[in-house]
Homo-oligomer: A and B are copies of this chain.
Amino acid sequence: MSASSIPKVNYSQGLMTVLPLFYVGWADGILSPGESQKIREKIDSFEFLTPEEKATALSWSEPTNPPQDETYQEWQKIILKYCKDTSEDEKNSLIDLGLTLAKNCDDCSDPTYWANDQTKTALLELQNIMGVHNVEINQHLSKQEVVSPAADFDVAQMTLALDKEYTEYKAKIKTLLSYPSFTLQNIPEKGAYREHILEQTRALADQGLGALAFAPAYGGEDDMGKYAAMFDVLGYHDLSLAIKFGVQFGLFGGSINWLGTKYHHDKYLKDTGTLDLAGCFAMTETGHGSNVRGLQTTATYDPASDEIIIHTPTEADGKEYIGNAMHSKMASVFAQLIVNGERHGVHAILVPLRDADHKELPGIRIADCGYKIGLNGVDNGRIWFDQVRVPRLNLLNRFGDIDEHGNYSSPISNPMRRFFTMLGTLVGGRVCVPRAGLSAAKTGLAIAIKHSLKRRQFEQKPGEAETLLLDYPSHQRRLMPYLAKSYAISFGLDYLTERFVKRSEKDIREIESLAAGMKAYATWFTTASLQECREACGGKGYLSENRLGQLKADTEIFTTFEGDNTVLMQLVSKGLLSNFSKEFHDDGFVAVLRMLGNQFSTLIMEQNPYTKRKSSSDYLLSGHFQLAAFKYREQKLLYTVSQRMRGLIKNKMNSTDAFLRCQTHLLSLANAFVERTILEQFIKQAKQVKDQNTKLMLKQLTQLYALHTIESHKDFYLETEYMSPTKTKAIRRLVDQLCKETRNHAEALVDAFAIPKEILQAPIAV
């Protein structure tokens, strides 16, 4: 290792052109054997290098023989010496910098020679192969970053970009929830907690908020958008309240509103909206949750008495987890309707549960589900029916009716279509639940980020202040991608809500798939981000006063209820494979699969080896590249899974078994579909923002969301050879830089959620 062992290098004009590339290349990690080979080939092709220069440059490209310390320091000296008058602009390009060195160096024979386009292109190609970023040199020479810093933005403008037309309305609700009567309380005993939540639900109903989605005749505003926005605000507060509210007005009220007709509306809707009639939504059974078609409870029409008999066949078929069960007077019971011995599938029937003294009516048995992980302010119960009789008119008869002669009729003759149409009207829950969950996640992020900007840990140098948590790269990596993702999902959910509010018969299947996918993706995000926030706050995060535990515990079940996420994601894939239109059956399916295959063949042909390795930061930061990568993943997975299924079906496997075999593959496909949709919407909606600084900040968040997501699927991109290792490494470095840059705006970004401190409450955050 003595200095004498270093061969004396003549830093000639040609070598100067590549020096900055090697300087940066060796500064950050090492070259892999694969890269080295490509670098050598490229250098060998350079016409503007002498054989001697080539030999030296090649000796710098050996992964097993990195430059020695002295050599490296010599490079640094040279760069500093010859570029001290170089403008920041020139320094922003390693190629320009190399050309400047060549022009300025002592050896320079022809100062103009180097500036020709051919040389520049050749050098750019080398840079791409090496995967080094232009501005990285500034990380060594100065402190500048490759990601251009976003300007400070106006927090109110950002709130407006997030809340859009509901900004004012949401602010009003926030004010309401900031009243002392709504102060968050930790009530460990479930009985007292449930009473407290019931009271608060009533207070919301008193403000007319329960009836928002109903028609004005029933006290409402016919405004599903506002109803959905309620959940954004309730999600910052107490999730028990959000769910209690949703069960009473959205599920019970919604079933009357959407599955009933004027008779039911007139009789029940107003009292439901005011909570004078407390009701529950009795769909799930112990053995049948996501599989609604398999419900066992029966509703048998008895012509003799003109009544419907509701019955639970066995103990295991009892209704389970029914929210509001302990407070309700009435239930919307989902059961297999049997008329004249014929089964017509699942229908909903209104069944009174309790008398005026709140005593259970004959044949009704209700049991408390007891304590749960969270949501203990919601009274979940089990319900069994023993030959309970209700009038025929209690059938919610919009999609299936029994007339006074005891004959069944339906406007939808196909039972399968009827079933899906009925369930389709209830998609509202899947629109609102992820909104509440997202707000809980945003609350967690606000708490964890504010804490990390106050809490210090470990001094780096004796006598200095200890380092802020959020100044640790690992802490930035923990929280910043989640922050960006919370924004991304926010725009994604707005898109879903808008599509849902403006839905038509034609696109309902597609919207259902969208709702299923978004609900699953957003609620998984809620669970994961709150977990990370808790861990990021250490011991403080474990104390109940700091809310993270409660938020996590309350939203934990969001991944299960309103449809288990894994089941929902399979729905999404089925939708994609059948193009949202066809009923899923083997013959039609094979045709669709074949069509998809043909489409994709063109797509893979478009992969081009140059693009595969192209890793300049400009390119990687562009929405064009990011969206193309997201689309590729979706299309490729759609293609490969359809090919696999085709193969299995060709082998005489039935499509159900083939589905089972490809299950994990299908889940990836659904994930890719949702992510592509979200990125598309995020980019699109961010572009529409008027305020310039807000728009720029959002653009940076789209970049972080997109590149971090790509990074998380790096195994896919490498395995399909859509990206080279050089490229994925470059993406990792960009994500690091984006995290660091976002850190500077982190507090403003969580302030833009506009969570009043009366609601935020956590001592570590205020």
Contact = CB atoms under 8 A, between A and B. Distances in A.
A320 interface: yes
A320 B460 contact: no
A557 interface: yes
A721 B715 contact: no
Taking chain A's interface residues, is the majority helix, strand, or loop, or is none over half, making it mixed?
A: helix
Interface string A367-380: 00111111000000
Contacts of A175: none
A639 interface: yes
A104 interface: no
A656 interface: yes
A718 interface: yes
Given A640-B29, A656-B460, A718-B715, A370 B64 contact: no
A766 interface: no
A545 B566 CA distance: 24
Given A371-B188, A660-B460, A531 B534 contact: no
Given A542-B557, A604-B33, A639-B30, A664 B477 contact: yes
A444 to B, nearest CB: 13
A99 B459 CA distance: 69
A371 B663 contact: no
A350 to B, nearest CB: 24
A3 B535 CA distance: 62
B549 A535 contact: no
Given A460-B656, A639-B30, A370 B556 contact: no
A560 B535 contact: yes
A658 to B, nearest CB: 11
B538 A564 contact: yes
A544 interface: yes
A433 B556 CA distance: 25
A603 to B, nearest CB: 10
A34 B609 CA distance: 10
A379 B374 CA distance: 22
Copies of this chain, how many? Answer: 2
A667 interface: yes
Residue among A72, A544, A604, A718 with the most chain B CB within 10 A? A718
Contacts of A113: none
Contacts of A73: 650
Contact of A719 (B458, B461, B729): B729
Contacts of A29: 640, 643-644
Most B-side CB within 10 Å, residue of A458, A461, A565: A458
A647 interface: yes
| Max chain B C-beta neighbours (<10 A), residue from A30, A140, A604 | A30
A560 B540 CA distance: 10
A5 interface: no
Contacts of A539: 284, 289, 320-321, 557, 560-561
Nearest to A590: B69
Contacts of A466: 291, 294
A619 interface: no
Contacts of A657: 460
Nearest to A189: B188
A661 interface: yes
A607 interface: yes
A474 interface: yes
Contact of A474 (B477, B663, B719): B663
A65 interface: yes
Interface string A276-318: 0000000010011111001000000000000000000000000
Interface string A24-45: 0011111011100000000000
Nearest to A570: B474
A553 interface: yes
Contacts of A542: 321, 372-374, 556-557, 560
Contact of A721 (B33, B460, B564, B650): B33
16 contacts: A33-B721, A73-B650, A186-B370, A290-B458, A294-B459, A370-B544, A371-B544, A372-B549, A373-B534, A374-B542, A460-B657, A472-B660, A473-B664, A535-B559, A538-B564, A542-B560
Given A188-B188, A189-B189, A291-B457, 11 more contacts: A1-B594, A64-B601, A188-B371, A291-B466, A372-B542, A372-B543, A373-B542, A373-B552, A472-B663, A473-B664, A534-B556
